A and B are shown apart, each in its own frame.
Chain A
Amino acid sequence: KNEVEQSPQNLTAQEGEFITINCSYSVGISALHWLQQHPGGGIVSLFMLSSGKKKHGRLIATINIQEKHSSLHITASHPRDSAVYICAVVVTSGSRLTFGEGTQLTVNP
């Protein structure tokens, strides 16, 4: 079993819908990252958080340390949001980075 699990693996939505992507982890962490990878490979860091909630534009990330769970929300989704969203954690034991398998999001017009 992976230390970082994302759900769903694939998600298709209509433009304008509210989207939630989930990340659960089974280890102690010092930080969690949400990354966005567009076709062609380029990766952009969206959020780094260790507690609470962060918001950038239409994107919101939350983390619950006790429940070992984080969510990425996209409000008023748009076709340009179509990408793979990756959750990564900094594991406190060994200070290593571990990645989830990613969620492929497709937003249709």
Chain B
Amino acid sequence: ETGVTQTPRHLVMGMTNKKSLKCEQHLGHNAMYWYKQSAKKPLELMFVYNFKEQTENNSVPSRFSPECPNSSHLFLHLHTLQPEDSALYLCASSQEWAGTSGNNEQFFGPGTRLTVL
């Protein structure tokens, strides 16, 4: 399997549920990203991990909890979400962190369409 994969592709959850989104990249990249895309809004960068270390957290509420156990895997743990959190959650990776001047071209996964009831 190649590229960036995300599971599940679709998720419906209640506000009291706990669920996790998974992202896996098979590109040997060192940086991974979580994005949120709400309807009719620009992409919002949520978290950045570089060499498994979190380098960016864009004021994301604590009900979103990222985890990066190694450079190939990235999780987004969800708990007590709100209906306004319904969105497309995209994972991406790049060889180097986008904040550097190196090879930061990003490769995106297909996304997880999340609906919070």
Contacts and interface: CB of A to CB of B under 8 A. Distances in A.
Interface of A: 2, 4, 30-31, 33, 35, 40-45, 48, 50, 86, 88, 90, 94-97, 99-102
Main secondary structure of the interface of A (DSSP, over half): strand
Contacts of A4: 42
Interface string B94-105: 000111110011
Interface of B: 37, 41-45, 56, 58, 88, 90, 92, 97-101, 104-108, 110-111, 113
Contacts, number: 57
B42 A100 contact: yes
Contacts of A40: 110
B111 A95 contact: no
A101 B42 contact: yes
Contacts of A31: 98, 101, 104
